[in-house]
Chain A
Amino acid sequence: MLIETGDLRMVYQVGATPVHALTGVAITVDHGEFVVITGASGSGKSTLLNLLGCLERPSGGWYRLEGKQVEALDDDQLSRFRNQKIGFVFQTFNLIPQYNVVENVELPLIYRGVEKGARRARSLKILEQVGLGDKIEHRPSELSGGEAQRVAIARALAVEPVLLLADEPTGNLDSRTGTGIMELFSDLNRQGATVILVTHSQEVAGYGRRTIEMRDGRIIHDSATGENQRC
């Protein structure tokens, strides 16, 4: 099993009032799955994605990624773990403006300490794969939204992650470009990548092979189990 969580909880302190973003989530995801998490804003889907991406530690419960106890890792270990296991794709692309396309893709490999020649070669290969082999010297500001998101996906893939996480990857794109991006995710999934994607668009959710619906910090429906956890 790639992902196993139990009773995962997240509490944020907003001023004096605690906000319960997750109130006990148990989920398992196997290698090669394409999971789409849906729900209204504030339902906790982004928080769950951040936790699964090892960006922060849960307030309670447990999370094992490839058998590793994530909540026990310290900040440096979490950083390295993210670097080795996880690729992130964001709604706003989040490319680094002072770097050109290929430098953006290389960045995670720099943090991994991959030597210059090897990381350049790998980045070029991935850019070719996402269809941007001819734009490697472009700055992010010179790219269209769809191209920028492809670069972001290439960056996520550069480290050969076991888990590809995407938070509303089509949220800033027109529908035609969004379709292209979703087809890219589908392709990657068919080639073996495990994808977990957060969206509130029904159309996007249709690309998933498994959908999880969240409300008020818990899972209310999981198409894999078919069970409704509504209470």
Chain B
Amino acid sequence: MKRQQTNRRPVIATLAVVIAVLALCCVAAIVVLLPKMRATETTSGPTTADQRSATLTIAYSPEKTALVKDLAATFNARKLRTPDRQAMSVELVEMTPEEMVTQALSGQPAFQALTPDSSLWLDQLNRRWAQSQTQAEPGAIAPRLVGEPVRYAVTPIVIAAWADAARSLGWPDQPVGWSTLQTRAQQDPSFKWSHPSTAHASGLLATLAEFYAGAGVQRGLTAELAQDPRTAAFVSAVEKTVRYYGEGEMAVIQRAATDGPKYLDAFVVSEQLVVAFNTGAFGQPPADLIALYPSEGTLWADHPLALLETAEITANQRRTFQALREFLAEPAAQTKILNAGYRPADLNIPLDSPGSPLTAANGVNPAEPQTTLQLPTPDVVSVVQNVWALTKRKTNVFLVVDTSGSMRGEKLSNAQAALRTFLAQIPSDQERVGLVEFNSGVTNIIELDTLASNRAVLTDAIDTLEAGGNTALLDAVRTAYSRLQRQADLDRINAIVAMTDGRENASAVSLRQLTAEIQAGNQDVPVVIFCVAYGSDADYELLQSLADASGGQVRQGTTETIRDLYKILSSYF
């Protein structure tokens, strides 16, 4: 028996080793396969982990960057968790309201919640989304993409004017309205004012006010009234007094901070920006701004925060949204909002509480506004936007383009893409655009003409740009400037967008001569020069001198940002 057992031992031992090896293989399989399975799941659609995500990405409009970042950081620092222990966190993505609408409608937004400057955008989003869905019967309840919005901060739209300009309009003894501003601008050519385009709530309000005044009504604006030739003629006349448009309130207020009263006499912004300006958020104010609440009525920027009700929203993201909503309603957050110059949504916080910046000393009156303009139906708003696009002040703009040797390669190809974007962003064929190409001298000129006539010519010229030679920037700017002066077209905005990547080294005219010419010429025919310093080698100081002489500005661009920069610049016309 002993011998038999002894003989079986190696067999059993071998069996044990084989089984042990198999077991080890199984364990190894788990160790190796598990991460791979997880990796596969992350790249192949919603997973359990995704379904439990408590990270909420919020798109916000740019004018409230500082406030939103501060609030999100405070919220994230709390390290809240959902009942299933997922970390609640808020991520931010800056976006214009129009981009939010476009992305949300695309079905692939990079965010789950949004906070634009006005509920107008949520309404537009809901309407456009509902139109894309099938509607069962007339009058049926339309689907909505946007969930119930919450408000945490509001601010009225105002006419911001320097104290002297405000007094000249009748403040504080007389009511100042849209008509006061429009009349003054038409009667006094030296009076400079501006409002953003209708892509911004403040721009839309200013435009609506013009349409109401033009139609001779104060409510009940209809599509017929908005399209009436007399209304259009009135709006056109008022719009001719606009200095130039721009990318939004933020750019205008920053410019006002650097240039002071010589920039504009009055402009349309939110009350919060007037407070921020006067309290030094943009540096030492060159003079005090006064918020004028239009007597005919204004509009509120209500900064709604809402979820996009898509199927991808997780229960935990809803929890994060709810937690954020509760956080924003807390006295500490609301006080922070007040300190930033907004009117907090919590009505229990008095606007005149200690430390509140909403004071007469900061140019605002918390008891205002007394009344609001009637916001028409979405269809009428669309008509107003369309008619405005036709009646707004038209532009003569020269694109001055550097094709010196240093532009070779990616720099030139990205610049070409940027120029094409610029043209594409100007939808009206009535705008006049020309082009001056330069390197060692001016090498090509496409004369100013309406885009209806020369859009294709410009596109061809842009496509065939070639780099080589030196940099005769000043000669090129002078070429464009003299042409605009010769046109002497005071009905239009006259502008030059000059781009260079290097240092001036080939022009016949000196900087001093050219700036003197510009300052003299601009007395009769104002021409604004926007300079683009492309890359790190551009002569920023020279460009600044050109911009200063014309009341323009310098923007810096890189191969990565040049396209967006030209897109922004197109909004000025």
A, B: real partners: no
B-binding residues in A (CB < 8 A): none
A-binding residues in B (CB < 8 A): none
